[in-house]
Amino acid sequence: MNKDICHCIVLRKASRRVSSYYDEALAPLGVNIAQFSLLRHISRMAPVSLTDLGARVELDRSTVGRNAKVLERMGLVDIRSGKDQREATLTVSEAGQAILREGAPLWDSVQDAIEARLGPDGADRLRELLAAL
């Protein structure tokens, strides 16, 4: 093993590069991959509390709340009080649903390009390796 190579830095560089592929593809819609991904999770779980969404995306509640507020200002999500007034629930607005519909083929094209670059076996192996972390 090469002690001069930092696994964290290598992964961060790769993550930034991959994120840029998605961000570039989604740019015409005015969202980035983090926003698009959060929209997808909200859509699948709606109505969803900030706490439950945070658990699903493995982010703390306050980070999810800040990101949800951005999506709300963009008109892509609706934030309402939940059963417990201390807990907000999220749903995707009609504008957000349109972004998801328009973004799906753009997201798919990046997925396909990455898989073509790595090959199907390489993409599967990458997922396995990353899941092991």
Residues 75-105: tens digit of each pLDDT = 999 999 877 777 889 999 999 999 999 999 9
> For 32-104, which CATH class?
mainly alpha
Q: Is the pTM of this model over 0.85?
A: yes
pLDDT tier at 2, thresholds 50, 70, 90: confident
Residues 25-64: tens digit of each pLDDT = 999 999 999 999 999 999 999 999 999 999 999 999 999 9
Neighbours of 98 (CB within 10 A): 13
Spell out the domain ranges in the chain: 32-104
How far apart (Å, rounded) are the C-alpha atoms in residues 17 and 2? 23
How far apart (Å, rounded) are the C-alpha atoms in residues 101 and 105? 8
